[in-house]
Amino acid sequence: MNESVQSSLKATIFFDGSFWIGVFERTNDTGYTVARTVFGGEPTEPEFYQYVIHHFSALQFGAPQKREIEEKKTNPKRAQREARKEMEKLKNSSRPCTFAQSYMKEELEKYKKEKKKITREEKEAREQEQFLIRQAKKKEKHRGH
């Protein structure tokens, strides 16, 4: 049972006005997922490498979305040239790709809706509990001593 799983990972680091942010895009058989982390100060290459080694498993990737994986076999030199071109393009734009941005925005919206629902349920439970306490107090007053 020697199954091969095709997976690709792309890391982008950019300055967001006040902090350095890392966006990790992972594409594999389950789909496309994105994780975001805040570095604070500008990470050097060794610091980034150490971060990936020690903290990659702790990154919280979102729910996978279906996206086709390109299965092209490329020459290593060509891949290196393309990576260099992409790095130059990223230096000029200093932003991750728009697909990753839209994905992170959708994940944030899902998180906000879920958090709002939980907060509303907790508030309703608290109000119901207070109502029952008030009812019990009223009932106790009417019973007499």
What range defines the domain where residue 18 resides? 8-143
For the segment 82-132, what is each residue's pLDDT rounded down to a tens digit? 888 887 876 666 555 677 777 788 888 889 999 999 999 999 999 999 999
Residues with Cβ within 8 Å of 52's Cβ and at least 6 positions away in sequence, in order, are 11
DSSP 8-state secondary structure symbol assigned to residue 65? B
Residue 3 counted as domain residue? no
Is the confidence at residue 1, as pLDDT, over 60? Answer: no
pLDDT tens figures, 22-74: 888 888 888 888 888 888 788 888 888 888 888 888 888 877 777 665 666 78
pLDDT in tens, 2-21: 566 677 888 888 887 888 88
**Verdict on whether the full-model pTM lies above 0.75:** no
The whole-angstrom separation of Cα 131 and Cα 65 is: 44
Query: Is 70 contained in some domain?
Result: yes
Q: What is the pLDDT of residue 70?
A: 61
Domains: count for the chain:
1
User: Per the domain annotation, does 97 fall within a domain?
Assistant: yes
- Please check whether residue 2 lies inside any domain of the structure: no
Alpha-carbon dihedral angle through residues 77, 10, 73, 5, given to the nearest 10 degrees:
140
Sheet holding 8-15, edge to edge: 8-15, 20-28, 31-40
Instruction: Confirm if 27 and 8 have CB atoms less than 8 A apart.
Output: yes
